[in-house]
A and B are shown apart, each in its own frame.
Chain A
Amino acid sequence: MKKILLMDDEAAVRSMLKKMLERQGYAVITAPNGREGMNLFNKDPVDLVVTDLIMPEKEGIEVIMELRKKCPDVPVIAMSGGGRNTPESYLNAARLLGARAVLEKPVQKEIFLEAVQRVLK
């Protein structure tokens, strides 16, 4: 069973995506920010990291940079609903730093699951 680490500061987003992924047969662990997410990752590596970009304590961009250094083979999917800039500018940065797929919130279930499947292949 493929294991996915999901980081998002919105509890409802975490719970919804976790259910969605578990129904597809994935094992999912979640964290509300990048710092806690990286702590989980360091204890128990996963097959895929799905991360929001704007989060407290440690942002998604920092998570991607840290993962690229530690485990460059672990794929990352970045998601963002924008902020001070358009989601596109955040997601472009994530893509440049090595995110394998980038998704603009709100993202549809089919698109999200297709990205997960594709990246895990």
Chain B
Amino acid sequence: MTGSSVYTRKSLLDIVEALPLAIVVIDGTRRVVLANQKTCLFVNKDEDRLIGYVGGEAFGCIHHDDVPRGCGYGKDCLKCRMRRTLLETLKKKKALNGVEATMVLKGLGERHLRIYTSPVRLNNEDMALLSIEDITEAKKHEQVCLEKEKLAAVLKTIGGVCHELNQPLMIILGFSDLLLEDLPKDDLQRQNILEIKDQVDRLGKITAKLMTITRFKTKTYLNGEIIDIHAASEETPELNKGKES
């Protein structure tokens, strides 16, 4: 949508105070000219510490202090979606809705924001109205749900794979025992078969451990990371101890 709505400061303030989001009006130099109470609450600042300040400084962006000229001139400012969205709205007089931006704010840490901008004309000057929705908690929740879904899918796969592996392991183990029974006590092959049995036992312990994985835990291996099955699994009692119920 392009084109600006025309407001007086009073009429615009009446509207933005009635809305549930943090809303500011930014002029052509990206300075805050108007802020509602919800913005003050969001950034934990009084209105007089917002009005007249460039966006990044007003909101407390950590990158404002990166260079002497402040917000808009640092290396990270080139990637700032908040700045780019505002500039586009100011330049093209175009509304942009639902742009997601991440900012690290002093005292608030990393915040995930969903922003909406509209071109407005205030006191005969083209400006941008910026609405900010803090979606940090929703993003965290989304991430947790995603991790849970991923883990559940991985666990299902592991369960199926281990079940398939345990069958041949049992077969190798059992036939090794039958071979040992058939060989004379002094046969030189006995040691080799015992070694096969030891290795199958070892594999059995690994599949048992894999099936108790309950979380993602990785460890450094060479130049990358691999799943640490010992840290990611839960200790479970060994079943094959001749239990009787």
Q: Measuring CB to CB, which residues of chain A are less than 8 angstroms from any residue of chain B? A: 10, 12-13, 16-17, 19-20, 23, 54, 81-88, 91, 95, 98-109, 111, 114-115, 118-119
Contacts and interface: CB of A to CB of B under 8 A. Distances in A.
B209 to A, nearest CB: 10
Which 9 pairs show the lowest CB-CB distances between chains A and B?
A81-B166, A16-B174, A106-B170, A106-B169, A109-B177, A104-B239, A105-B166, A106-B204, A86-B211
A107 B240 contact: yes
A101 B245 CA distance: 7
- Chain B interface size, under 10 / 10 to 19 / 20 to 34 / 35 or more: 35 or more
A104 B238 CA distance: 9
Contact of A101 (B159, B165, B211, B244): B244
A90 B236 CA distance: 14
Interface in B31-81: none
Interface in B174-204: 174-175, 177-178, 181, 200-201, 203-204
B100 to A, nearest CB: 36
B242 A114 contact: yes
| Residue with the greatest number of chain B CB neighbours at <10 A, chosen from A16, A54, A111 | A16
Interface in B158-176: 159-160, 162-163, 165-171, 173-175
